[in-house]
Amino acid sequence: MNTTPFTSGLSDHAVTITRVADTQWHALDDDLVVGRGHAQHRPDGRLFVSIDAWHDTAFDRLAEAMLAQLPTPLYTVVDEADVELTAGWRRAGFTTLRREWEYVVPTDPQVTGLEALLPPPGVTIVPAGQTHEGPLRAVDRAIRDEVEATAGWQSMPAEVIPRPVGDTIVDPSKYAVAAAPDRYLGLIRVVTVIRPRIGLVAVRAGEQRRGIARALLAHALGRLHDSGFTEAWTEVHESNRAASALFEGVGARPMSSNLELVR
């Protein structure tokens, strides 16, 4: 790529910013890389940025260069305990959009208390990989429309905010569902890369308070436990008290909090 140096006017410190690829920037000090910036579109269509820098000057100049060359809005996620990183993004004009708590969730049914839990009458749990794609997409769309009409998607995990256009079910094989004879009533998505992560648990508005969400969670955690995983992870928006109560009710512990920032 044709790299064009970007030298900030913030100070006389000898840091030069070079865009080394469409989505990558380097901060150089006498040819030594003292910082890197990266931009990435998430599946929901939003553009997220990240910076790893040795010192504040490199961070600020990377941020200035990236913000000058990227369209807004821009987003980033930081560990709330990382005070220096959070301060850097605030200097760049980012503000807090949302806070999510990260929970570690036990999988052992004797710990969660879900060992003997059954779905409510007339409801069956269809395991991941055995769902039918049409009804799965229908329940996903219905739940999204219901949430958008009430609490809004700012109350949901950041990754499930709907794309501007297009599909919201990326991989149907990751979803287990709660099924009635004529339609699906709720769903749960679990993705395992390095560790299992529960990305979404949701139930149609008219079917809530029947124990369907707990049944879905019992199924997913039981499957993970049978596969040898002792813990799973999930994120819950701080305003979503029902989700917090669901996970804390099975022994989940909040471990940290993340801030999603926007400019």
Q: What is the pLDDT of residues 162-175, one digit of tens each?
A: 444 455 777 899 99
- The DSSP string of 194-215 is SSEEEEEEEE-GGGTTSSHHHH
Examine domains 5-98 and 101-257 and report if their fold is the same: yes
114 close to 221: Cβ distance less than 8 angstroms: yes
Give the model's pLDDT for residue 1: 44
Fold of 5-98: Aminopeptidase (3.40.630)
Q: Which residues contact 226 (CB under 8 A, 6 or more apart)?
A: none
What percent of the chain shows pLDDT beyond 90? 70
Q: Which CATH superfamily is domain 101-257 in?
A: Gcn5-related N-acetyltransferase (GNAT) (3.40.630.30)
Taken as a whole, the chain contains a residue count of: 263
Domain ranges of the chain: 5-98, 101-257
What percent of the chain shows pLDDT beyond 70? 87
- Rounded to two decimals, the pTM is 0.74
Alpha-carbon distance 112 to 250, whole Å?
4
229 close to 147: Cβ distance less than 8 angstroms: no
CA 121 remoteness from chain centre: 33
